[in-house]
A and B are shown apart, each in its own frame.
Chain A
Amino acid sequence: MNILKLSWKNITSKPLPSILSMLLLAVGLSTAIILKLTEHQLTENINNTGKDVKLVIGAKGSRLQLVLSSVFQIDNPTGNITYGFYTLLKRNRMIKEMIPVSMGDSYKRKRIVGTNQDYVRLFSGKLKEGVLFEKPLEATIGIAVATELGLKVGDEFVGGHGMEEVLHSHDEYKYKVVGVLRRSGSVLDNLILTPVQTVWIMHAGHGDDSEYTLGAGDKSMHTPEEVVEDSLSQMAKEHNHEHHHHDHHDHVEVNLESVLANIDPKDREITAILFPNFSGNAKIGVLNNANNQPNMMAVDPAPEIMLLKNKLTPFVSIIIAISWFITIIAMFSVFIGLLNSLRGRKYEIALMRVLGASKAKVLVSILFEGVILSVLGYILCLVLSHAGMELIGNWMQNEYQYEFTGWIFLRSELTYLLVAIAIGLVSALFPAYKAYKTDISETLSK
């Protein structure tokens, strides 16, 4: 029976007040840790997703909204731009890489993005199984889409128009899963990727109906139409070529081809163009070019992200303040709990001294009680915060198209163990001092 064990027995013999102190401490620290976990994952997502996009071109509107929608897949698109503008820029030799993205459709709340394979490379996406999408209606899906919706290579599904709620099912055509991507910690995890042509095919025939245009579409921006014609014929050639190698797909291919060929150039739209790895001169050129178009704008994501982070700072500060508030209440709870428990144990303290315990030993035994409570509180806090993060993560996933998880552990969580121990020690200090000062003779005489 050593001092540590004695402290433990003193705590467990009166479990209710101990549990209250522990819970308060755990809730206070959990709030702080959940905040840390969220911040860590958000930053990771922002970095993994945003760092390689140097410029975005999209329809005029809120600059932040354009970045959020086309880079982070969070907000609704600002509108559409013509595919023609994309092909026009393609002729510019200074631009090494550009990626079209076309949004507006979804399958079971997972966004479908029409793009090209460079999009996968942009986020360092690696295939887990299958291949990357190549032809219209082929889809390569993120790992979260695969696991949550139970989709695998070879499966087919029907997409719908709308990103939150499906307003209209595109049941004429089915998507076919050709590949699943590995977890990348970026926006890829939650997306269904397909060629931009798929989006056009899905929307063919609805082009004139405003209900079915993508996003908040501005329909009056189809300027460089001659370029569109070029790209159209080029695409048709490509598909004729492929046709010979895929005999068993004849029926669908012919069908798609004719559908594709019949799509009016002005209905060939995309939501935005992403530019990775820009050389400085090219950037200025593209910026000017885009900003001179009546319905387009070019936005550098970095300052917008910074702006967003700054907007979030007050909220983060409030949560931090709340977590400290709860933690300080927890400290008082440990303090009052120990003081209360010691009041009833004054005679026991005197008894320990009679039995040979020094003042220091008594002091240490009370400090131990504070520390044991706080370490237990910390352990409870780890359980609460990670389970809580997992729960909140499930909810946030739908809001932010990013998979938050409670099952990651940060090194900074260990710092909170030190914080917890410090809280235990500080709140036990005065009760321990009182025990240290106990007048044994007087106590025993009563």
Chain B
Amino acid sequence: MGYDWHRPLESQTLRFTLLTFLAIVVGGLVLLIPPYFMQGTVETIEGVRPYTALELEGRDLYIREGCNNCHSQMIRPFKAETDRYGPFTMAGENVYERPFLYGSRRTGPDLSRVGGNYPDSWHWIHFRRPQDIEPRSNMPSFAHLYRWPLDLSLTQRKLEVLRTLGHPYADEEVRDAVAEAQAQAAVVVARLRDEQGIQVSETEAGSEIVALIAYMQRLGTDVDLPPIESARAGAAPGRP
């Protein structure tokens, strides 16, 4: 068993390159194409809808600040994970995730079902200085988000692009994107001020942090899932 058969190939650049291409292309074809067409890859889940204009802006801020480098949004089907974070992630929940934000490293806890776990005021205090809530936390401060005004100049265009990609936004949602974002922001600010007693300045009311909190509170709330029974005492779900 020699390798003489291979010698001619080593002097035929074109043939060698074509064979190399064949060798590298097969795996991708098998793994990437069929999931698109196979039934059951993504099962439709009722209640899953695209992000609102404000939540979308919040999600883009999450990406801008690189939150996905420390927080996963993918719960695995183990008791320890579902006890801590809630029901495991299903493909049908992620159909409007562009890009996906599963993450690869949990420096901080999973956030895929954090929505509603804490009041807005908790996020308000926490984002400014996480150590005020948990002294052992190694999360950075995001105080600049309270100063930087929320930029809605691209919001309508973003919804248009996502609609082109298949997200089912209604005509009014796209047309009134900015107004709807401002209206939802006003609701968040009013809740902070009136119900939770947070002093929100006018600058802060128009700042990026409002969008990020709206996004946080949306995460995982599309799916109505049974409450977690086995969580107890100090280790309730999502409690860091």
- A-B complex is real: no
